[in-house]
Structures are given as C-alpha cells and as structure tokens.
Chain A
C-alpha cells in the first residue's frame, strides 16, 4: 500500500514554515492586524 508521500512532505513543509514564522514573531503581526478593524476590508477605505 502506498502512502500519500507528497501530502506528507507538504504537511512537513507547512509545519516548518509555520514554525519559522512563529520564531520570527509573525503570528503577532497577524494578531496586530486582526484585532483592529481593517478599514479597507469593511469598505471605509
């Protein structure tokens, strides 16, 4: 039986990228954007 190797490689790559992002504090950049009303998104401009 063949395992889905490409998916497993992609999952590992995704987790590695997320980990790299967290080390670079990128999750706090996301948080900072997400906790303020995005004027462009809601159509204020």
Chain B
C-alpha cells in the first residue's frame, strides 16, 4: 500500500496543479474546470490549480451579502465523503502529501504526546468558527482562508516568486500567515500530519463520513489475536482493532499491512466483508 499510495498522492497533487505554465507566469488558471471543487485542500489561487478549493468555495457562499444555501459545494463534499471518507486525506489531498514527505525527513520524532487527544478537537472548532460562523456573521471575509489556511500562503509564495509585481503587495497579513505556515511545516518534521490531526476543517468534515463511506475498514474479530501491532504502527494514533472506522483514520493502510493475522481489510468493501471472510475460514 505504501508505494502505491505515494504514487496516487503524487499523481493527485500533479493533477490538481496541472497548470504548469502558471508557476512561471504567476497567472492563475481561468478554465472551466475551476467550477469544480477538488476533493482535497488545494488553494484555487495557487498558480497551478485547475480546480476550486472546497473550503474556500464554501466560504464564498457564506460570506455573500445575499445568502445562498451552498447546495453545490455541500453536495460535492457529501459525495466525496460518502464515497471515500478520509481516504481523500490519505490518497488525494496535496497538503496531506506534503506533510507525509516532510515527516520522512530524518529528524527528531515525537508522534505520541500528552495533549494529542484534546488538540484533535481544535479542527472542529476551526470548522465551526472560522469556516462557518465568522464568515456567515461578518460577511465578505473568508476567515479560514485569510487567517489560517497554509495552502493559501503557499499559493502566495508561489505567486510572488513568479510575478515580482505581487511582492510589494504582501504585508503584515502575509507575514502572520507565513509564521503559521512555518510552524505547521516545522511541526510536520516531528509529528505526523499535525495540520490534518489538529487544524484541518476539511479533514474534520470527511471524518464524519468514515463510518458510512464506501471506502472503509473492517475487522474480523475472530481472526484478531489482540497483538496490538496495528495500533503500534498507526501514525494517527488510533487502535483500529477497536475503532476501524474512527473519524481520525486517513486510510493509509499501514495497520492492514502490519496485522499478522490478516484481520483487517480496507477498501471498497461491503459492510460485512470481513465477517464473510472469517465465516469462510471457519
């Protein structure tokens, strides 16, 4: 799964940012594909982006002076969530991929620490406050994009690198966002996917779908020998032998690989797939 997942992640990152010309000219893509949201977090102002960011698009509707129920964006989020759940995070999201790469760099690692559990709730606060309540209340300001989103900051960096006219426009706000980006990227060297675990509102949304999604994980209780190997390898610090469809699971598949008893299955499986497998064995 590891290598295959990396290849899919790389292809997805390239596909979402296929406007290569933009990286040199600083001109963002303006084609029709930009009316469709990509499943992962990828700023639509990135010079390479050929699709729209779902979190940015959601805020566009909520910040509008004339309120419109965002059927289109919410529908896409429900669709992606129901098919893939957080497999979007594990396979398709460019910002998740970037954090995976950074964690591979040899450095001091501390992926389990006190406070990890409680910090996980922060992403729900960010979703409620910065993506929904504040933009809806104060209008015209996409609070998450403006004050937090590291993908937007990367877009700003890339734009200013390609187009010198952008540089003088970057002031205090950009500096603040740069500090946030710096903290997230440095933390990614030490902790696996800190942005996904603690801050990402999109991951928070997809987490709600993990229990119902077509892409899911099942555990054969009668095969499981309770060795704890799956929990030991999980970088999201989940115990899949207890909660195979945890809201935190990004479907990286490491636990499935580590299980010596073949008790875990992950993929587009029927709800009772593992049960059936174990019945066949008996």
Q: Which residues of A contact B72 (CB under 8 A)?
A: 17-18, 20-22, 24, 26-27, 29-30
Q: Is the interface of A mostly helix, strand, loop or mixed?
A: helix
B45 touches A38 (CB 8 A): yes
B270 at the interface (CB under 8 A from A): yes
Q: Is the interface of B mostly helix, strand, loop or mixed?
A: helix
Q: Which residues of B contact A15 (CB under 8 A)?
A: 75, 79
| A-B contacts, 23 listed (Cβ < 8 Å) | A4-B270, A7-B83, A10-B82, A11-B83, A11-B214, A14-B77, A14-B79, A20-B72, A21-B71, A21-B72, A21-B75, A26-B68, A29-B61, A30-B60, A31-B35, A33-B44, A34-B49, A37-B159, A40-B141, A40-B152, A41-B56, A43-B173, A44-B169
Candidates B68, B173, B214; contact of A4 at CB < 8 Å = B214
CB distance from A4 to the nearest CB of B (A): 5
B173 touches A44 (CB 8 A): yes
Please classify how large the interface on chain B is, using the bins under 10, 10 to 19, 20 to 34, 35 or more. 35 or more
Which residue on A lies nearest to B273, using beta carbons? A1
Please classify how large the interface on chain A is, using the bins under 10, 10 to 19, 20 to 34, 35 or more. 35 or more
Would you give the 0/1 interface string for B28-55, flagging 1 where the beta carbon is closer than 8 Å to chain A? 1110101111000001110001011100
Known: A16-B75, A26-B68. 16 other contacts (CB 8 A): A1-B276, A2-B270, A18-B79, A24-B68, A30-B37, A31-B34, A34-B44, A34-B56, A36-B28, A38-B43, A38-B145, A40-B141, A40-B142, A43-B177, A44-B173, A45-B146
B78 touches A17 (CB 8 A): yes
Give the top 8 A-B pairs by smallest Cβ distance, nearest first: A21-B72, A17-B75, A14-B79, A43-B174, A41-B152, A42-B156, A14-B78, A10-B82
